Structure 1
Amino acid sequence: MSEKLPEAEVIKRESNYLRGTILEGLADRTTGALPEDDTKLTKFHGSYQQDNREVRDERRRQKLEPLYQFMVRLRLPGGVLTTDQWLGLDRIADECADSTLRLTTRQTFQFHGVFKEQMQPFMQKIHALGLDSRGACGDVNRNVISNVNPHQSQLHGEIHQLSLDISERLRWRSAAYAEIWLGEECVEKLGEEEEPFYGHKYLPRKFKIALAVPPENDCDVFANDIGLIAIVEDGQVAGFNIVVGGGMGLTYGDPATYPRLATMAGYVPKAQVVDACEAICAIQRDFGDRTNRAHARFKYTIDDYGMEWFRERFAEYHGQAFERPRSFSLSHNGDRFGWVEGEDGNQHLTLLIPTGRVADTDNGLLRTALRKIAEVHAGTFRITCNQNLVIANVAPENKAAVDAVVEEYKLDAGNRSSPLRQNSMACVALPTCALAMAEAERFLPEFVTRIEQAMAGEGLEPEAINLRVTGCPNGCARPYLGEIGLTGKAPGKYNLYLGADFSGQRMNRLYRENIDTDTILEELKPLFRAYRQEREAGEAFGDFMVRTGIVESERTPAMLHQPLK
């Protein structure tokens, strides 16, 4: 293996703890872009430089540079925010961005269309709300996600607090964030290490942590570098089974890259779980591959060294070995819509937010409606890992006021859409994502309609099937856990994956490669027909595909690259 370090690794090591020349680039008004090296560093600050790909040719003809802009993602552990924070972010969307908010699959917000001159005002405004974007992207621990379970208010409180604690423990510490975005003076503190955990190298690649409370798996816990599965005893979280080495994403044409579900490592008591996460992250920091970015995720470290080696390193770094894992059961990875009463008597309303986009459009005034709810709601908002929204902790006397807004604006609490649509999600993709090869967010609504029509044509109701669409193979919408998964291959062309289960514990496999929408539907129609005729009671679509031998039950890396047909 070559010892030459990739450019991204060199840039962060030489960046003076993520400062680079970002400040100088922000001050340069001759261009809407930052220097290329600095765009690698702004990811650590929660931002990607992008441009509107749909106007590239026209701007080129006019001899203009691309229409550069930035996507900014917030750090919001557990996806919980106050109504004041929601209203503040709603204002910022108009003042600094494209007048929309995007709920992500990692339980936070993305803002799009932030121009360079608005970047510092944007960061200062979110700081005033008690929020930040530190570590929402980059080679560090990303936003910690957790189960949103309105049935069990006390458990959710425990889990949310742990997501905050883990996020804070693994947050990068450099003063670069405050200096660049908040205008604080650079003051060197002699004898103090700016990054006591990460050091100047940070991690080899991004790192993701999720917490699940069985039987719910709305966070797709096995898709993360660390998955924490709560073990509940007598109504309290006693500890966690820890699974490691999960991760979505592959590179087309490179069979050495593959998505992977996390492997069971063992159990730790609740009091040790934050320390355990730090120990595991440190193992990846010290042993992850820094010479090959495509091989730098923790999933490859686990496969290269093996689980026995990992458990030995964990005992060494943590000071205690794993205990034997406890039994648990996960039933599904979707959201439960409508009103639910929590243990404390407060009400929680889960709303469908199609593709996570909060905007006022010709199809409805969703952003206005949620603003009005925030104005009358005294509780919190919770973003789900499926891009939906929970209006949480609604006092019984305030339920009617929320219901009135829901009815006035025809919001979807699971009563205005099919189960298929409720279990569908997509990444942003075009026109701003530089990696997108095909549409996703703008493609999904009509594609769901066409699948509903195809199912009806085969005598099926448009029932709950996990449908995931991404514009590239990197897996932001976790397509490899979709019972039907699509990843963009070219404009209008997708790879079709089939055979995942409905609880996030079995991946799908590549079924057809590089096909258009009409071909996808023609492939699905006979499968829907067979499903209607031959399924067992309560059998999910992906399980039917495996039981009947249409796709295999085992999963190997090669199956994600080699089409079945």
Structure 2
Amino acid sequence: MSDVLKSLQAKSKSADTNGKEAKPSAVEGFKTESNFLLGPIPEELVDGTDKFGKASIQLLKHHGTYQQDNRDERGKNGKKYSFMVRTAIPGGKLNSDQLMAELDLCDEVGDSTVRITTRQGLQLHGVPKGDLKKVIAKINEVQLTTIAACGDVERNVMCSPAPYKGDPVYDQMQEMADRLASHLRPRTPAYYELWLKDESSGEKSLVGGGLDGDDVIEPLYGPTYLPRKFKTAIGLPGDNSADIYSNDLGLMAIAEDWHIIGYNVLVGGSFGTTPSAAKTFPAIAMPMCFISPTQVLDVATAIIKVQRDFGNRSDRKVARMKYLIRNWGLERFKEKVEEYYGAELHPPRPIHINGHNDGMGWHAQGDGKFFYGLNVENGRIKDEGSYKLKTALREIAKALNPSLRLTPHQSIIFCDLAESAEATLKEILRRNGVPLTEETSAIRRWSMACPALPTCGLAITESERRLPSMIDDLEEQLSQLGLADERFTFRMTGCPNGCARPYNSDIGLVGKTVGKYTLFLGGRVEGDRMNFIYKDLVPDEDVVDELVRVFRYFRDDRESEQESFGDFCHRIGKEGLLEKCDTSQ
């Protein structure tokens, strides 16, 4: 039996509220019996049906795909299944050929759209089961991967994406994101076996030996991987575009003389919650220690191992690392990380987030070249009516062949451009009906929504399909109030899972029940503060009116032009806002 498995069996026992040893969840059983994520997937992949069984559905997430049911297309024959395939792209860095490959796939086997995710990856939707192998193989063919884009492992490592070549700190951060992604990626041969191996080659299976084999196939994760998903992001005090406080592990780069001297390590961020379960909650990460760049990989490994061995494996609602830290306290958690790391860790530096650079617009890179950040509403790349972003991207790739960055706000940056390319780039976008970033309102530029209906199985309300029209109404109202240029984050999700990070934004809308949302206020653009519930169960048709009343109060009573909308709401508080803005009182 491997040392990792012995460690898991010895340490990861969960207890219920009566102190009795709790039974592992069904998902833990699927992972344990899967032989390192292979499970029954090979047989079910070719069984002639359009779906997978319960075990395979959970295991497939680790390979980068979710089984989904399009609720708009349900008919007399019941559910219509298809698959979302997610590509993990550390720091959002890719080239034009890679993006074109994804666009080709969305037309050939998907729903004709590609979506930039809130974690700087790409998603294809509507992929039939019979095309999964073709899709994943093609993504790997262009030197991208789907492994660990989902599942109980380290997810896509995020990083501030702006390509400032004149500031070496950005290159150093982005290099660290690549190193972390490679170091923390699962090693299971099952991924190759399922999606990349030539079946006609007669090649021997690479997965074997079972759990008691002499070889430790997964030296970090072990045979049962993590209790739940794990997310990591890297940012700067002046650029928290990667939203490091919302991650299990956040690394705040601290620089002196244009060089990163170390990182403040933040732990325990996570936004998923279940309103019906009081034991669940969203949380922002807390500063734990300061480490040098040479310590990052080993400290990150130690943190993940502590979560692996002590995170809750019986109740997935409370299996994220934030619950372990809340149960233990930060000091005890740090001591256990130090034990695993093998040395004492220094206290965090007294440095705080003070900015968020979304990278939008035309900028000099600092190396004689330029970049342009294009706002992509809710990350959806599509051709629809006169709006032809997909066509525009194909033309830009052919004419300019730029390197690319995907942003944590679901937008795209065209990099390494000659100064003369600006006119060509903007002409292509305008000709295809794509609004330029400088033609986009502040509220639309700083908004974000999750996909929600019709394909997300957790969605209760609309999100991506509703937010644009809601912003149409708000744009007009804010213009009348003289607040059209006000910068604030506005994020919307179709359920409380919080995929679009609504709980630290200036305004958060979270689907609560059909047609109704919980309205949150008081976060801020910098992302280091939780917002609060202003009103619950707000009908869809009342959301804009509720917000306009608060904006009017903000315009009339803000302390100065420098006070942001989120800071104003935080200062006034829920009761003060209700007293002035709630017409029902």
Indicate whether 1:172 and 2:190 are aligned: no
Partner residue, 1:38: 56
1:8-52 Cα shifts (integer Å, max 9, x gaps): 1111111111111111111011x2101121101101111100011
Selected match of 1:116 from 114, 125, 129: 129
Partner residue, 1:544: 568
- What is the distance in 2 between the residues matched to 1:211 and 1:514? 35
- What is the distance in 1 between the residues matched to 2:419 and 2:553? 46
Matched length? 549
Q: CA RMSD in A?
A: 1.9
1:440-471 Cα shifts (integer Å, max 9, x gaps): 00001001112223324444325222100000
Partner residue, 1:22: 41
Partner residue, 1:509: 532
Selected match of 1:494 from 500, 517, 535: 517
Structure 2, gaps ≥5 residues long: 1-15, 199-203, 578-583
1:477-496 Cα shifts (integer Å, max 9, x gaps): 00101211011122321111
- What is the distance in 1 between the residues matched to 2:439 and 2:419? 24
Partner residue, 2:260: 237
User: For 1:549, what is the secondary structure of its paired residue?
Assistant: helix
- What is the distance in 2 between the residues matched to 1:412 and 1:458? 24
Partner residue, 1:68: 81
Indicate whether 1:224 and 2:256 are aligned: no
Partner residue, 1:203: 226
Q: TM-score, normalised by structure 1?
A: 0.94
User: For 2:508, what is the secondary structure of its paired residue?
Assistant: strand
Partner residue, 1:130: 143
Selected match of 2:322 from 280, 299, 305: 299
Q: TM-score, normalised by structure 2?
A: 0.90
Q: Is the 8 A contact 1:44 1:140 kept in 2?
A: yes
- What is the distance in 2 between the residues matched to 1:334 and 1:24? 47
1:78-99 Cα shifts (integer Å, max 9, x gaps): 1100111112222121122111
Indicate whether 1:49 and 2:73 are aligned: no
Indicate whether 1:93 and 2:106 are aligned: yes
Residues 523-532 or 357-366, more deviating? 523-532
Following superposition, the deviation at residue 325 of structure 1 comes to 2.0
Q: Map of 1:465-484 to 2, 5 A cutoff?
A: 465-484=488-507
Q: Is the 8 A contact 1:349 1:392 kept in 2?
A: yes
Q: Which amino acid aligns with 1:51?
A: D
Q: Is the 8 A contact 2:91 2:158 kept in 1?
A: yes
Following superposition, the deviation at residue 334 of structure 1 comes to 5.6
Partner residue, 2:557: 534
- Compared CA separation, residues 323 and 551, structure 1 to 2 (3 A): farther
Following superposition, the deviation at residue 397 of structure 1 comes to 4.6
Following superposition, the deviation at residue 551 of structure 1 comes to 5.9
Residues 408-417 or 312-321, more deviating? 408-417
Indicate whether 1:12 and 2:26 are aligned: no
1:397-431 Cα shifts (integer Å, max 9, x gaps): 54443233233334334222210110000000000
- What is the distance in 2 between the residues matched to 1:482 and 1:120? 38
Q: Which amino acid aligns with 2:27?
A: A
Q: Which amino acid aligns with 2:43?
A: E
- What is the distance in 2 between the residues matched to 1:327 and 1:515? 40
- What is the distance in 2 between the residues matched to 1:542 and 1:319? 42
Partner residue, 1:347: 370
- What is the distance in 1 between the residues matched to 2:436 and 2:346? 41
Partner residue, 2:358: 335
Q: Map of 1:146-295 to 2, 5 A cutoff?
A: 146-152=159-165, 154-183=168-197, 185-187=204-206, 188=208, 191-295=214-318
Q: Which amino acid aligns with 1:298?
A: M
- What is the distance in 2 between the residues matched to 1:17 and 1:539? 52
User: For 1:228, what is the secondary structure of its paired residue?
Assistant: strand
Identity %: 39
Selected match of 1:446 from 449, 469, 475: 469
- Compared CA separation, residues 140 and 550, structure 1 to 2 (3 A): same
Residues 527-536 or 432-441, more deviating? 527-536
Partner residue, 1:557: none
Q: Is the 8 A contact 1:17 1:176 kept in 2?
A: yes
